[in-house]
Amino acid sequence: MADSATVDRLLDRVYEYRKDLLKLCHRVGGLHIGGDLSCAEVMITLFQYALHVRPEDPNWEDRDRFVLSKGHCSAALYLSMAQRGYFDKQELFDTYKNGYETRFGNHPCKAALPCLDSSSGSLGHGLPIAVGMAAAARIDGKSHRVYCVMGDGEISEGSVWEAALAAAGFRLGNVVAVVDRNRMGLDGFTEEIMPLDPVEDKWRSFGWRVVTVDGHDLKQLVDAIDALPPAEDPTPTVIVANTVKGKGVSFMENNPIYHHIAIDEEQLRQALAEVDAAYRRQKGGRTA
């Protein structure tokens, strides 16, 4: 079970993440800000708690692997990795999206940033990559896990379900998928574009162990990680994280406009003030 010290530590990291994300969005002229905000707690829990990695030795053979299937949310990945110590955050702020020479583009590119486990961005392909990595680990007799964060819109892709069948069929309990269930795609709500519910039943029918959490509740996320079976278990796990697109900023929440957009100085000030106020309420509630 998640202890209060762990949750407090992660809460501080999420607060830092959200502030940096908003500042980066303003600085570079736009990010996939809605989805970056919805997966904040998921990304921080994975990089600050779940993943067994060595940032100083990113090619360590026995590390856990991570694939960001919703690769358009690259800023979420870069900020999470910077917090974990893979590279300096200032380089990210200085060079994000500045042409082809940058290590930090709109989608993660392993050729440019070798500490990544995979390039990504073509939706529906992240889970197949993760399943391939997990199968290779089985063949090599390794016990690390492979984590894959997916957007819920992309699970309407057939390639996702082919990978889900393969993971269960090959008994790959070393795969952990996390679905960022913010119920929105690029230009609208998933249940209006391609209905997904009951999403948990779909995964169960494909032979997966399903855990449903509030994706903004750090305690629930930590408990879900702690409850994972051993990597040698035959059943893959999917964590369905119910989230809000644009979480933490009132004018962005559940607003399709904020899939990818720039924010001006006044919007930045308002957003930072709201994030700061929410953090103070959460910290006060935890110390009362």
Confidence of residue 39 (pLDDT cuts 50, 70, 90): very high
- Examine the pLDDT at 142 and tell me if it is beyond 80: yes
Instruction: Say which CATH number the domain at 116 has.
Output: 3.40.50.970
Domain containing 246 equals 4-287
Provide the pLDDT for residue 286. 64
Confidence of residue 187 (pLDDT cuts 50, 70, 90): confident
- Examine the pLDDT at 287 and tell me if it is beyond 60: no
Q: What is the pLDDT of residues 209-256, one digit of tens each?
A: 999 999 999 999 999 999 999 999 999 999 999 999 999 999 999 999
Percentage of the chain modeled with pLDDT above 70: 98
Confidence of residue 99 (pLDDT cuts 50, 70, 90): low
DSSP secondary structure, 123-182, as one string: TT-HHHHHHHHHHHHHHHT----EEEEEESGGGGSHHHHHHHHHHHHTT-TTEEEEEEE-
- Number of structural domains (the chain) is 1
Provide the pLDDT for residue 288. 46
